[in-house]
Amino acid sequence: MFGVWVPPDEAGRAEVGKLAYYGLYALQHRGQESAGIAVSDGSRIVVFKDMGLVSQVFDESVLSTLHGHLAVGHCRYSTTGSPTWENAQPTFRSTGHGGLALAHNGNLINTPELADRLDGGALTATSDTEVLTALLATREGGPMEAAREILPVTRGAYSLVFMDEGTLYAARDPEGIRPLVLGRWEDKGWVVASETAALDIVGARFVREVEPGELIAIDGPGEADVRAERFAEPRPKGCLFEYVYLARPDTTIAGRNVQATRVEVGRRLALEHPVEADMVIPTPESGTPAAIGYAEASGIPYGQGLVKNSYVGRTFIQPSQTIRQLGIRLKLNPLREAIEGRRLVVVDDSIVRGNTQRQVVALLREAGAAEVHVRISSPPVSWPCFYGIDFATRAELIAGRLDVEGIRDSIGADSLGFISLDELIAASQIAKDRLCRACFDGVYPIPVEEAARGKHLLEPSRP
């Protein structure tokens, strides 16, 4: 998710459509189902969105039509509402004053209650984001007024960037579950992005995080043009899984670099779950930093045993089981010469359904590995996430059904070890009470009612 504002007289040079494109390109890992950019020239908002990766949706000819001095962009990974064109973002609504375009990272947990506030107003899509956009667009007094009224009653995870014709807005839920940062572009423009890495890629400088419970409006080049206010008291509960898997390694969240955290987790994993072996290999690339840390702390040489095709998307983040299983085979190929006859430690970031690890262990054995010891740089994912990760139901999570020995047996490893929750938290250097750890310990910082749990809750014809 990405937003940019530059002074109108810089619009031609800055090409905000392209800045948004590069920003989304840097954030592609956060969602791969659809992509979109809304741009305004001060009098009219134009939205272009479609299904597919950022590079599939946009080309030179499309980007050359996106003129203006402010833009918001989004790459979607669906958690409420199917992956359809209508649910692609930014969402757009006409207001009494013009238009409103909105991009949302996270997942709301009181969507039905919010939908009731629409007083029967028609929805054109089935996502939580559509409901929020409709609510913000139908209030009197413009987006800021509407946000002051609606955000305090909006529950769940929401990092937002939205815009009308002339102003860029940003907001973050009081728990600050998903990251959101503010950056400076050439001392005259402003950028808001899901991760600091996206600031780097467009040449913007990190200024600060958008605080939990904060609402910001930007419509000028000066520091004083960033008008920030609180709509709720902050209750920080940043997502621990961002450090494990979701965020880019070159991103920093709450002052802690993600790569450094992952390497440190690997070191701690080696101390918690040592094993005699000849080589430590990662499941590339998400297991790489922890494998480096494991090798460093254990003294076992680090090597490459699996080659990844980087052009295949993440496996669990895609929505259907068929695609997921195909994805694993397309993605990894073992290096027989490096593996044959060796006792391997294979480090991966997480086990969700167990399909990836089962196939990785089988691939390594087929390639001649003498032993395969799996080490995981997160605790077992035993509980679903309702705040923006589609882990699905508890029954689909292998750790929701099996203990560690059962999982080891199921994936066919010689041994299996998970980092403990305490060690993971210690590696993150964030205080435990400022983190959401619900998928690991079942303690949900924002209680979720049963009625608000389904991905398809606004799609009654779907199961």
Question: Are the C-beta atoms of 352 and 398 separated by less than 8 Å?
Answer: yes
Please count the residues of this chain forming the interface with ligand SF4, following the rule CB under 6 A: 11
For residue 32, the minimal CB distance to ligand SF4 (Å) is 17
Interface residue with ligand SF4 among 46, 177, 279, 346 (CB under 6 A) is: 177
Nearest Cα to Cα of residue 414 among 405, 423, 422: 405
Residue 387 is a binding residue for ligand SF4 (CB under 6 A): yes
Question: Which among 226-234, 361-369, 395-403, 436-444 is the span making contact with ligand SF4, rule CB under 6 A?
Answer: 436-444
Q: Specify the stretch interacting with ligand SF4 by CB under 6 A; choose among 18-26, 146-154, 335-343, 432-440.
A: 432-440
Q: For tokens 């559509």, what's the residue? A: 130
Q: How far is the CB of 386 from ligand SF4 (least distance, A)?
A: 7
Distance CA 289, CA 379 (A): 16
What's the rounded Cα separation, in Å, for the pair 322 and 157?
28
Q: What is the DSSP letter of 8?
A: G
Cα distance between residue 218 and residue 340, in whole Å: 58
> Per CB under 6 A, does 240 bind ligand SF4?
yes
277 phi-psi bin (left φ>0, alpha ψ -120 to 50, beta other): beta
Of the pair 338, 448, the CB lying nearest ligand SF4 is at 448
Query: Per rule CB under 6 A, is residue 136 in the interface with ligand SF4?
Result: no
Instruction: Determine contact, residues 443/457, Cβ cutoff 8 Å.
Output: no
DSSP-derived 3-state class of residue 245: helix
Q: Smallest gap, in angstroms, from Cβ of residue 241 to ligand SF4?
A: 4
Out of 247, 385, 411, 425, name the contact with ligand SF4 by CB under 6 A: 385
CA contacts within 13 A on the Cβ side of 365: 14
Of the candidate residues 6, 265, 438, 446, the single one contacting ligand SF4 (CB under 6 A): 438
Contact status: 361 vs ligand SF4 (CB under 6 A): no
Buried-state track 385-420, b at ≥16 Cβ within 10 A, e below 16: bbbbbbbbeeeebbbbebeeeebbebbbbbebbbbe
> What is the residue-wise DSSP string for 106-144?
EEES-HHHHHHTTTTPPPSS-SHHHHHHHHHHHSTTHHH
State which of positions 389-408 bind ligand SF4 (CB under 6 A). 389
CA separation for the pair 240, 436 (Å, rounded): 6
Q: Pick from 201, 265, 439, 458: which binds ligand SF4 (CB under 6 A)?
A: 439
Q: Does 247 bind ligand SF4 (CB under 6 A)?
A: no
- If the CB atoms of residues 52 and 249 are measured against ligand SF4, the closer one turns out to be 249
Q: Which stretch binds ligand SF4 (CB under 6 A): 50-58, 356-364, 437-445, 447-455?
A: 437-445
Beta carbon nearer to ligand SF4, 193 or 438? 438
Q: Which two tokens stand for residue 50?
A: 């479609």
Minimum gap (Å) between residue 73 Cβ and ligand SF4: 23
User: Which residue number, 35 or 253, has a Cβ lying nearer to ligand SF4?
Assistant: 253
To ligand SF4, the closest distance from the beta carbon of 428 in angstroms equals 11
- Candidate residues 16, 239, 292, 344; the one interacting with ligand SF4 per rule CB under 6 A: 239
The yes or no reply on residue 258 touching ligand SF4 (CB under 6 A) is no
Q: Which of 77, 158, 231, 241 binds ligand SF4 (CB under 6 A)?
A: 241
Any contact of residue 29 with ligand SF4 (CB under 6 A)? no
Bridge-based pairing state of the strands 343-348 and 279-282:
parallel
Q: Before 242, cis peptide (omega within 30)?
A: no
What are the residues binding ligand SF4 (CB under 6 A)?
Answer: 177, 239-241, 385, 387, 389, 436-439
